[in-house]
Amino acid sequence: MLTFILVVLVLFLIPGPAVLLTVTQTAKGGRKAGIITGVGIAVGDLIHTVAAVFGLSAILMTSALAFEIVKYLGAAYLIFLGIKSLLEKTKALEEKPVTDTIKTDPSVPFRQALLIELLNPKTALFFLAFLPQFVHPNGTPVVYQLLILGLTFVLMSILYTTLLSFLTSSIGKRLYSNKNSNFTRWQGKVVGAIYIGLGLQLVLQSQK
Structural domain span for residue 143: 18-203
Q: Indicate whether 128 belongs to any domain.
A: yes
Instruction: Answer whether 0.75 is exceeded by the pTM.
Output: no
Establish if 175 belongs to a structural domain. Answer: yes
Per the model's pLDDT, the better-predicted residue between 43 and 116 turns out to be: 43
56 CB burial (10 A radius; 0-12, 13-18, 19+): middle
The answer to whether residue 116 is domain-embedded is yes
Annotate 101-130 with DSSP letters as a single string: B----THHHHHHHHHHHHT-HHHHHHHHHH
Specify if 1 maps to a domain.
Answer: no
Q: How far apart are CA 51 and CA 55, in angstroms?
A: 6
Task: Name the residue among 190, 207, 208 with its Cα closest to residue 198.
Answer: 190
Structural domain includes residue 5? no
Encoded amino acid at 169, one letter = S
Residue 30: strand pairing partners = 101
pLDDT of res. 60:
61
Residue 87 has pLDDT above 50, yes or no: yes
pLDDT value at position 205?
A: 64
pLDDT at 40 over 90: yes
Q: Given a cut of 60, is residue 43 above it in pLDDT?
A: yes
Tens digit of each residue's pLDDT (9 = 90 or more) over 189-203: 666 776 687 678 767
Average pLDDT, rounded, for the chain: 76
Q: Judge whether 4 lies within some domain.
A: no
Residue 91 pLDDT greater than 50, yes or no: no
Compute the distance between CA of residue 67 and CA of residue 148 in angstroms, rounded to an integer.
Answer: 27
User: Is there a domain that residue 130 lies in?
Assistant: yes
Residue 11 lies in a domain: no
**pLDDT confidence bin for 146, thresholds 50/70/90:** confident
**Range 43-53 average pLDDT:** 87
Predicted confidence at residue 118, as pLDDT, reads: 87
Q: Looking at residue 202, what is its pLDDT?
A: 65
Cα distances (Å, whole numbers) of residue 36 to 77, 148, 166: 19, 23, 12
pLDDT of 50 higher than 60:
yes
Task: Name the band, by pLDDT with cuts 50, 70 and 90, for residue 185.
Answer: low
* Total domains present in the chain: 1
